[in-house]
């Protein structure tokens, strides 16, 4: 097959470790292990689609069997082993699709075949793709061989569903988690491929491809291939052309929709949404894109016009900047909450399009009732809670089944048991989380929350990338459940305090430094030269 006739994802598939992008640490670790003859019995690669799991498996197989050795691993002029592995027809390297070979009999045949030494290569290697598809009995049959295989036998597993693999299999394998490829690396990679293919495509269109691919190299190459094929003219493929090719809706449509909502123009809002829907955007995708616009609206002052997240072009930036001056931050957060709630409830209806239209009407209702407007936000949030209850209970309760109704009654009972707790500072909130056994929230509050302010049911925190992405949503729900009051939790551009555990560690280190300056420590150190002070606890703390 002519190499030029191949799709880009196959044509530019990495053949050696240095060709892999975004997985440099994993590649270096495996390279060192093979070079120093310390390769494990089984490799386990996990990650989303298109980040290089099967590619890694083949490169590992080549590295173990290449005639030239790992330092001169074939990248162009392939030896017989590397060529056969690339073409998936090597007699000693078997690639198995676990989706079609799921039974225990298939694994027993594999184990029986593994008893024989390799025919022509140094190692006999089994590459099992989507290994999580194997049955429970098949996994059990594999355990003994996997734990103590012959020296010539290696297993390489690949999966997108690591949680479905028994822990007994995971513990017998060396696990490598392949992350999504970063925006910058994927953009530079596509730009290089575009130049090699002499493609006429703008950087803005490439950024859109990177955004849609969500960190998957294979997806990005497939989209680039599609864009280059669709562009039959000698003109450069523009961002608007890319929108049409991929069925992606311009952000300006969402911005105008939000503007119409704030104006209170129901007809324009519904017509604008229908235009977006008819362009091929599904209801759930629409809601997620709507959330993205709300994020830009809330944080427009800290965003760049052309950032790494393919945020906004200059026109959209100016529109959102103008819109942000007409609406209070609390209104944006309220819109955010309603959008999240609609995403959670959208599967309750058969026609999701109708659910989105009702969601937009709900936002218009808030505007028309002056619960929010472009100039002021009412501080009395009890009216918001009552409206939220009235608008949702009438529609959702009609849709839910009998079982769902029973679950809702149980939930309401649980809420009634909760007492309205008075929480005035973050320490009280941490103690409440501990009492309620919400240990995940307690951990985030103690280790990752950089508090800016805590007052009047409003919590402001400095953005911290280590914070769990569901933290704000989970804490908001629990606070409402515990206090029967809606709390506003938002990220701030202001610098926050250090997390509680960091402050405690710093204080402890200070105590240790002070103690080491004392004469008592000097005498103690003379008696015990190897002494190490890790923590100092006051007597009062012990009594408490």
pLDDT digits (tens, 9 = 90+) for 232-286: 777 888 888 888 888 777 777 888 898 889 888 889 999 989 888 887 788 888 8
- pTM metric for this prediction: 0.58
User: Quick check: 380 and 485 in contact, CB under 8 A?
Assistant: no
pLDDT digits (tens, 9 = 90+) for 485-537: 888 888 887 888 888 888 888 888 888 888 888 877 777 777 667 777 777 77
470: its two tokens: 């569901």
Shared domain for 82 and 196, answered yes or no, is: no
Listed range (181-190, 298-307, 314-323) with the worst mean pLDDT? 298-307
* Residue 458 phi, psi dihedral angles, 5° rounding: -130, 130
Shared domain for 305 and 399, answered yes or no, is: yes
Shared domain for 332 and 430, answered yes or no, is: no
CATH number, position 112 = 3.40.50.300
Assess if residue 374 is contained within a domain. yes
Shared domain for 104 and 40, answered yes or no, is: yes
**CA within 13 Å, CB half, 165:** 24
What is the reported pLDDT for 538?
63
Shared domain for 239 and 258, answered yes or no, is: no
Q: Is 86 exposed, middle or buried (0-12, 13-18, 19+ CB in 10 A)?
A: middle
Q: From the centroid of its chain, how far is CA 67?
A: 40
As a whole number, mean pLDDT of residues 14-43 equals 93
Distance CA 106, CA 129 (A): 14
Q: Which residues contact 335 (CB under 8 A, 6 or more apart)?
A: 294, 363
Assess if residue 106 is contained within a domain. yes
As a whole number, mean pLDDT of residues 329-337 equals 86
User: Quick check: 173 and 44 in contact, CB under 8 A?
Assistant: yes
Transcribe 88-118 into DSSP letters. Answer: T--TTEEEEETTT--SHHHHHHHHHHHTSPP
Between 445 and 303, the higher pLDDT residue? 445
Q: How many residues does the chain have?
A: 544
pLDDT digits (tens, 9 = 90+) for 44-66: 999 999 999 999 999 999 999 99
Listed range (40-54, 121-135, 167-181, 334-348) with the worst mean pLDDT? 334-348
Transcribe 210-252 into DSSP letters. Answer: HHHHTT-HHHHHHHHHHHHHH--SSSPBPHHHHHHHHTPPPHH
Q: Which residues contact 241 (CB under 8 A, 6 or more apart)?
A: 205, 230, 231
Q: Is 517 helix (H, G, I), strand (E, B) or coil?
A: coil
pLDDT at 198 over 50: yes
Shared domain for 152 and 52, answered yes or no, is: yes
Assess if residue 91 is contained within a domain. yes
Shared domain for 272 and 235, answered yes or no, is: no
As a whole number, mean pLDDT of residues 356-371 equals 78
Shared domain for 306 and 404, answered yes or no, is: yes
Distance CA 314, CA 414 (A): 50
pLDDT digits (tens, 9 = 90+) for 93-123: 999 888 887 788 888 888 888 888 999 999 9
What is the reported pLDDT for 501?
86
Shared domain for 169 and 20, answered yes or no, is: yes
Shared domain for 528 and 450, answered yes or no, is: no
Between 401 and 291, the higher pLDDT residue? 291
CATH number, position 235 = 1.10.8.60
Residue 173 neighbours by CB distance under 10 Å: 19
What is the reported pLDDT for 367?
64
Listed range (94-98, 409-413, 482-486) with the worst mean pLDDT? 409-413
373: its two tokens: 């407007």
Of 246, 265, 284, the residue at which a domain comes to its end is 246
Between 2 and 144, the higher pLDDT residue? 144
Assess if residue 189 is contained within a domain. yes
Of 195, 217, 246, the residue at which a domain comes to its end is 246
CATH number, position 357 = 1.20.272.10
Among residues 98, 164, 108, 175, the alpha carbon closest in space to that of 134 is found at 98
Distance CA 383, CA 378 (A): 9
Distance CA 185, CA 215 (A): 10
Assess if residue 384 is contained within a domain. yes
- Total count of domains within the chain: 5
Q: How confident is the prediction for the chain on average, in pLDDT?
A: 81
What is the reported pLDDT for 368?
58
Shared domain for 142 and 222, answered yes or no, is: no
Assess if residue 89 is contained within a domain. yes
Shared domain for 49 and 167, answered yes or no, is: yes
What is the reported pLDDT for 533?
75
pLDDT at 378 over 80: no
What is the reported pLDDT for 509?
84
What is the reported pLDDT for 176?
95
What is the reported pLDDT for 308?
43
What is the reported pLDDT for 224?
93
Of 122, 150, 177, the residue at which a domain comes to its end is 177
Listed range (130-134, 315-319, 390-394, 449-453) with the worst mean pLDDT? 390-394
What is the reported pLDDT for 333?
87
Assess if residue 518 is contained within a domain. yes
Assess if residue 502 is contained within a domain. no
284: its two tokens: 């759930």
Listed range (270-279, 288-297, 393-402, 463-472) with the worst mean pLDDT? 393-402
Residue 514: domain span: 510-543
What is the reported pLDDT for 381?
42
What is the reported pLDDT for 193?
94
358-382: burial string, b at 16+ Cβ within 10 Å, e else: ebbbbbbebbeeebbbeeebeeebe
pLDDT digits (tens, 9 = 90+) for 393-404: 444 444 444 334
């Amino acid at each position: 097959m002519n190499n030029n006739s191949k799709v880009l994802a196959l044509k530019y598939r990495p053949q050696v470790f240095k060709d892999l992008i975004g997985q440099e640490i994993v590649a270096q670790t495996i390279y060192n292990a093979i070079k120093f003859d310390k390769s494990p019995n089984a490799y386990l690669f996990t990650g989303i689609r298109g980040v290089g799991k099967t590619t890694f498996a083949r490169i590992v197989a080549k590295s173990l069997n290449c005639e030239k050795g790992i330092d001169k691993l074939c990248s162009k002029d392939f030896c017989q082993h590397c060529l056969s592995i690339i073409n998936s027809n090597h007699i000693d390297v078997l690639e198995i699709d676990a989706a079609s070979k799921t039974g225990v009999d298939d694994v027993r045949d594999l184990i029986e075949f593994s008893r024989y030494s390799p025919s022509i290569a140094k190692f006999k290697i089994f590459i099992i793709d989507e290994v999580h598809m194997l049955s429970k009995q098949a996994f059990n049959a594999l355990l003994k061989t996997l734990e103590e295989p012959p020296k010539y036998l290696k297993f390489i597993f690949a999966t997108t569903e690591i949680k479905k693999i028994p822990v007994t299999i995971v513990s017998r394998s060396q696990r490598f988690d392949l992350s999504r490829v970063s925006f910058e690396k994927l953009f530079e990679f596509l730009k290089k491929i575009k130049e090699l293919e002499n493609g006429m495509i703008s950087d803005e269109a490439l950024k859109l491809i990177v955004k849609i691919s969500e960190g998957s190299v294979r997806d990005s190459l497939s989209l680039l291939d599609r864009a280059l094929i669709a562009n039959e003219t000698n003109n450069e493929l523009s961002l608007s052309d890319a929108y049409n090719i991929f069925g992606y809706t311009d952000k300006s449509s969402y911005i105008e929709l939000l503007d119409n909502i704030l104006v209170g123009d129901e007809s324009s809002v519904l017509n604008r949404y229908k235009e977006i829907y008819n362009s091929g955007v599904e209801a759930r995708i629409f809601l997620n894109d709507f959330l993205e616009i709300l994020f830009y609206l809330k944080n427009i002052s800290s965003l760049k016009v052309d950032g790494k997240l393919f945020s906004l072009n200059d026109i959209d930036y100016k529109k959102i900047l103008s819109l942000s001056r007409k609406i209070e931050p609390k209104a944006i957060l309220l819109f955010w909450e309603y959008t999240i709630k609609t995403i959670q409830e959208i599967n309750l209806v058969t026609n999701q399009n109708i659910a989105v239209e009702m969601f937009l009407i709900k936002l218009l209702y808030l505007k028309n009732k002056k619960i929010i407007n472009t100039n002021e936000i009412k501080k009395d949030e009890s009216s918001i809670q009552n409206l939220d209850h009235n608008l949702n209970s009438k529609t959702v309760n009609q849709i839910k089944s009998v079982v769902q109704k029973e679950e809702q009654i149980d939930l309401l009972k649980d809420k009634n048991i909760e007492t309205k707790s008075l929480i005035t500072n973050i320490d009280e909130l941490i103690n409440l989380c501990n009492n309620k056994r919400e240990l995940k929230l307690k951990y985030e509050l103690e280790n990752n929350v950089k508090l800016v302010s805590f007052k009047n049911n409003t919590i402001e925190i400095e953005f911290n990338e280590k914070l769990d992405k569901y933290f704000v949503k989970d804490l908001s729900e629990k606070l409402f459940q515990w206090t029967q009051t809606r709390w506003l939790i938002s990220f701030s551009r202001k610098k926050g305090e250090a997390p509680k555990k960091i402050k405690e560690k710093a204080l402890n280190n200070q105590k240790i430094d002070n103690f080491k300056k004392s004469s008592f420590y000097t005498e103690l150190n003379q008696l015990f030269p190897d002494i190490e002070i890790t923590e100092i606890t006051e007597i009062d703390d012990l009594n408490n």
